[in-house]
Structure 1
Amino acid sequence: MASSVPGILPLPDSRWNLSTYWGRVRHCAEISDPSMLFTSDADLKRARDIIGSYRNGELKQTTPEFWHAKRQLDSTVHPDTGETVLLPFRMSCCVLSNLVVTAGMLTPNMSTMGTVFWQWANQSVNVAVNSANANKSHPMSMSQLATNYTAAVTASCGVAIGLNKVVPKLKSLKPHTRLILGRLVPFAAVVSAGVVNVFLMRGNEIKRGISVYDQEGQELGKSKRAAWIAVGETALSRVINATPIMVIPPLLLVRLQRGMLRGKSFGWQTAANFGIIAATSFTVLPFALAVFPQKQAIHSSKLEPELRGDRSEHKLVYFNRGM
């Protein structure tokens, strides 16, 4: 991110108003724009020079060139290390990296081995992305990473296999209803694994609390109540992010298979599946990512007693929700 460039002046968070949903949508659309994958080393060097000029007071105001440079760095560079994130694991590659895996998980009438393979592949991509973009100031140990990875794979495979066995036995439901439920099994598996992973990865935050800050950015202390909100919203955001991508394509494909794709070859149906997933992902990703703001506000009266201060001093304090 641009914040990795040293300087004495703070950087603006975004050109858009992040306190509004539409502002966050526009910001997320910029960060996840796949055109940023064409950013070269020379582009990054120039971007660092521009951001450095601003942070050291040489560039007096933001310009279109400044915002483009910040966008390149935010979508390509790790904020802690300043190193370039490996291409498949950048936010700008999110849709492309997940396209094949998502299509695999949503393939109709898969065998048990196929279900296990694609759920394993999905969690492998997730752990690689999380590891590449993790906060390096408090790195996760290999044992913690292995535990989270194993739990996520177990949860996703267990839910997928279990539901695949249960749905066909629901004889009281109409065949079309059972078909729809069967197509939504991957969604249930991905959501379950995502929620499990969030609470495992961020369990220490709930136990120890996270930092809360006043309006001037001064740390007031650690709050477990703020941590519960942060982790809970992050878990919910995983559900929201997965819902359109894992629900819309399979339902739309069912409809197409009863219409214009009826009798078409496996190749045509696979191509349609890829196209629907790609179009849905590129369209809805910024809207899903923007539901919760990164910087959250909470009234100090809702915090622990030691963080509240006098009743007359109750005011808004802030914390970083995390990803």
Structure 2
Amino acid sequence: MASSVSGPIPLPESRYDLSTYWGRIRHCAEISDPTMLLTTQKDLDHARSIISAYRHGTLAKPTAEFWRAKKQLDSTVHPDTGETVLLPFRMSCCVISNLVVTVGMLTPGLGTAGTLFWQWANQSLNVAVNSANSNKSHRMSTQQLVSNYAAAVTASCGVALGLNNLVPKLKGIKPNTRLILGRLVPFAAVVTAGIVNVFLMRGNEIRKGISVYDSHGDEVGKSKKAAFFAVGETALSRVINATPIMVIPPLILVRLQKGLLKGKSMGVQTLGNLGLIAVTSFAVLPFALGVFPQRQAIHVNRLEPELQNKKDMKEKPITTVYFNRGI
């Protein structure tokens, strides 16, 4: 993000009002814009120079070029480290990276092997995205990463296989209801594992605290309470993000298979499923991402006592601090 570029003058968070849901939707549509995948290292270097000029007063006010530079950095660079996030794990690649595994998980009639494979693939992608974009106040060891990864995969596969075995045995429900419940099994598995994944991958943040900053971008200290907010909201966002993508296409596909796609080959049905998931993902992603702001503000009274009587570099009392929620 552009906030990784240092300077005495604070950056505007966005060209949109992030205190409103609609403003966050428009902001998230920008940082998830897939055209940002075309950003080169030369573009990033130029963007950093523009942002640095603003933060040091050389650039008097935001211009169209400034907003373009900020968009490139916000969609490509990690806010804590300033490092370029690996391409498949950037927010601008979110829909594309998830498209294949989502289609795989939502393919009707998967057997045990297919269910296990696609749940493993999805959790592998989730772990990579979590690791690449999480708050970097505390680094995770390789051992912790491997154990947390194994736990997330076990949770997703266990829920998926358990529900796949349970749904056919349910009594007193109509065949169509049973069909719909079967199609929603991947959603339940993804949500469960997503929550487990977030809390395991980011457990160090809750135990040790995350960095909180004043309005000038200077670190005030580390807060466990801020970490709990960050991780809790991220876990809830996993549910919100997965719901439309894992629920809407399967339900529409059930209807299409009784009408337009009835009797069509598996290849045609797979293409239809792919199209439904792609359209839904691109349409709803900004709405899901915008529920919680990534850069959160919190009053110091809600944090630890040692953070409540700090002053900034101008010797003014700090009443509000900011932290990176992660994604």
TM-score, reference length from structure 2: 0.88
Residue 67 of structure 1 and its aligned partner are, at CA, apart by: 0.2
Instruction: Report what 2:152 is aligned to.
Output: 152
Instruction: Report what 1:20 is aligned to.
Output: 20
Instruction: Report what 1:119 is aligned to.
Output: 119
Instruction: Report what 1:45 is aligned to.
Output: 45
1:67–1:214 distance in 2 versus 1, CA, 3 Å: closer
Q: Quote the Cα distance in structure 1 between the aligned partners of 2:65 and 2:41.
A: 17
Residue 218 of structure 1 and its aligned partner are, at CA, apart by: 7.3
1:11–1:68 distance in 2 versus 1, CA, 3 Å: same
Instruction: Report what 2:67 is aligned to.
Output: 67
Residue 300 of structure 1 and its aligned partner are, at CA, apart by: 5.6
Instruction: Report what 1:270 is aligned to.
Output: 270
Is 1:174 matched with 2:174? Answer: yes
Runs of 4+ more than 6 Å apart: 213-220, 305-309
Instruction: Report what 1:321 is aligned to.
Output: 325
Instruction: Report what 1:206 is aligned to.
Output: 206
- What letter is aligned with 1:321? R
Instruction: Report what 2:143 is aligned to.
Output: 143
Q: Quote the Cα distance in structure 2 between the aligned partners of 1:199 and 1:41.
A: 33
Is 1:104 matched with 2:104? Answer: yes
Is 1:238 matched with 2:209? Answer: no
Secondary structure (helix, strand or coil) at the match of 2:125 reads: helix
Q: Deviations over 1:270-299 (max 9, x none)?
A: 111000000000010111011112344556
1:296–1:85 distance in 2 versus 1, CA, 3 Å: closer
Secondary structure (helix, strand or coil) at the match of 1:62 reads: coil
Matches within 5 A, 1:206-225: 206-210=206-210, 223-225=223-225
Q: Quote the Cα distance in structure 1 between the aligned partners of 2:88 and 2:325.
A: 25
Q: Quote the Cα distance in structure 2 between the aligned partners of 1:86 and 1:290.
A: 23
Instruction: Report what 1:260 is aligned to.
Output: 260
CA contact (8 A) 2:4 2:81 kept: yes
1:217–1:83 distance in 2 versus 1, CA, 3 Å: closer
Secondary structure (helix, strand or coil) at the match of 1:116 reads: helix
Q: Deviations over 1:173-198 (max 9, x none)?
A: 11100100000000000101111111
Secondary structure (helix, strand or coil) at the match of 1:57 reads: coil
Q: Deviations over 1:178-230 (max 9, x none)?
A: 10000000000010111111111232333344456677777776554444333
Greater shift, 137-146 or 60-69, is seen at 137-146
CA contact (8 A) 2:51 2:70 kept: yes
Q: Quote the Cα distance in structure 2 between the aligned partners of 1:220 and 1:48.
A: 24
Question: Greater RCO between the two (CA within 8 Å, min separation 6)?
Answer: 2
Q: What percent identity do the matched residue pairs reach?
A: 75
1:147–1:6 distance in 2 versus 1, CA, 3 Å: same
Q: Quote the Cα distance in structure 2 between the aligned partners of 1:85 and 1:23.
A: 25
Residue 2 of structure 1 and its aligned partner are, at CA, apart by: 2.0
Instruction: Report what 1:84 is aligned to.
Output: 84
**Total equivalences in the alignment:** 320
Instruction: Report what 2:314 is aligned to.
Output: none
Q: Deviations over 1:219-270 (max 9, x none)?
A: 7765544443332222111100110111111011101111111111111111
1:296–1:70 distance in 2 versus 1, CA, 3 Å: closer
Q: Quote the Cα distance in structure 2 between the aligned partners of 1:308 and 1:42.
A: 42
TM-score, reference length from structure 1: 0.89
Residue 151 of structure 1 and its aligned partner are, at CA, apart by: 0.6
Residue 128 of structure 1 and its aligned partner are, at CA, apart by: 1.7
1:233–1:116 distance in 2 versus 1, CA, 3 Å: same
- What letter is aligned with 1:75? S
Runs of 5+ consecutive residues of structure 2 not aligned to the other structure: 310-316
1:131–1:10 distance in 2 versus 1, CA, 3 Å: same
Residue 304 of structure 1 and its aligned partner are, at CA, apart by: 5.6
Q: Quote the Cα distance in structure 1 between the aligned partners of 2:165 and 2:48.
A: 54
Instruction: Report what 1:280 is aligned to.
Output: 280
CA contact (8 A) 2:16 2:24 kept: yes
1:204–1:48 distance in 2 versus 1, CA, 3 Å: closer
Residue 9 of structure 1 and its aligned partner are, at CA, apart by: 2.6
1:71–1:281 distance in 2 versus 1, CA, 3 Å: same
Instruction: Report what 1:292 is aligned to.
Output: 292
Q: Quote the Cα distance in structure 1 between the aligned partners of 2:212 and 2:159.
A: 36
- What letter is aligned with 1:30? E
